[in-house]
A and B are shown apart, each in its own frame.
Chain A
Amino acid sequence: ETGVTQTPRHLVMGMTNKKSLKCEQHLGHNAMYWYKQSAKKPLELMFVYSLEERVENNSVPSRFSPECPNSSHLFLHLHTLQPEDSALYLCASSQESGGGAAPYEQYFGPGTRLTVT
């Protein structure tokens, strides 16, 4: 248990559906991240939120829409996805600076396995 939870753990959705992935961190961190892990490709950073502001959008299509209402919660809203968006979506958190933990050490959740049909 890393202190980062993700729901749901598995999601199957059609291309016309709208769904959301949720991430919650219980570590008191101030930065949160979304990553995508596809088969046979390295983990790709999608979005970074620092102090609840988006500081990185790594050329992600607009059908993925992140939301960070506070430093403990992160959402990824999905709409009109494509089959190639099927992947494991991982959330992570870290402390930007200071604190007791090593700065920028990232802690990951268990992921949401998304299948787009």
Chain B
Amino acid sequence: KQEVTQIPAALSVPEGENLVLNCSFTDSAIYNLQWFRQDPGKGLTSLLLIQSSQREQTSGRLNASLDKSSGRSTLYIAASQPGDSATYLCARGGAAGNKLTFGGGTRVLVKP
């Protein structure tokens, strides 16, 4: 069974600290790895997508890495702000690319 795990389930940091969010998956035959943000009661906002041929993607303060051999992806958020408080979800795209398997998410609280 394809599984995606995110640990920890919740994280609290003071403003300004860098955030490191982890995602692990059991099947290395992935097509892509996508990171999303979800605010309470809302839909998902796509943050970064890493194709299987790539090692990382960057957008502003966000950087996501992908290591297929170890089955891991990491999302780094530099200089966290209270507005970064949300749940962050990673999702693995399978061989067909369009079927995403989601992790349980990491709920982040950035304290002012």
Give the interface of A toward B (CB within 8 A). 2, 4, 6, 31, 33, 41-45, 48, 50, 56, 88, 90, 92, 94, 96, 102-111, 113
Contacts and interface: CB of A to CB of B under 8 A. Distances in A.
Contacts of B34: 105-106
Q: Interface on chain A toward B: helix, strand, loop, or mixed SS?
A: strand
Complex A-B, nearest 8 residue pairs according to Cβ-Cβ distance, in ascending order: A43-B102, A108-B44, A104-B97, A110-B43, A108-B43, A42-B102, A105-B49, A42-B104
B97 A45 contact: no
A114 B70 CA distance: 38
Given A31-B98, A90-B44, A110-B43, A104 B31 contact: yes
Contact of A106 (B41, B42, B100, B105): B100
A107 B74 CA distance: 21
Interface size class of B (residues with CB under 8 A): 20 to 34
B109 interface: no
Given A42-B105, A48-B99, A56-B99, A105 B46 contact: yes
A42 to B, nearest CB: 5
Contact of B100 (A45, A96, A111): A45
Contacts of B31: 104
A111 B39 CA distance: 12
Nearest to A105: B49
B89 A43 contact: yes
Interface in B38-66: 41-46, 49, 51
Contacts of B104: 41-42
Nearest to B50: A102
B42 A48 contact: no
Nearest to B32: A104
B41 A113 contact: yes
A2 B46 CA distance: 9
B36 interface: yes
B10 to A, nearest CB: 12
B43 A90 contact: yes
A111 B17 CA distance: 32
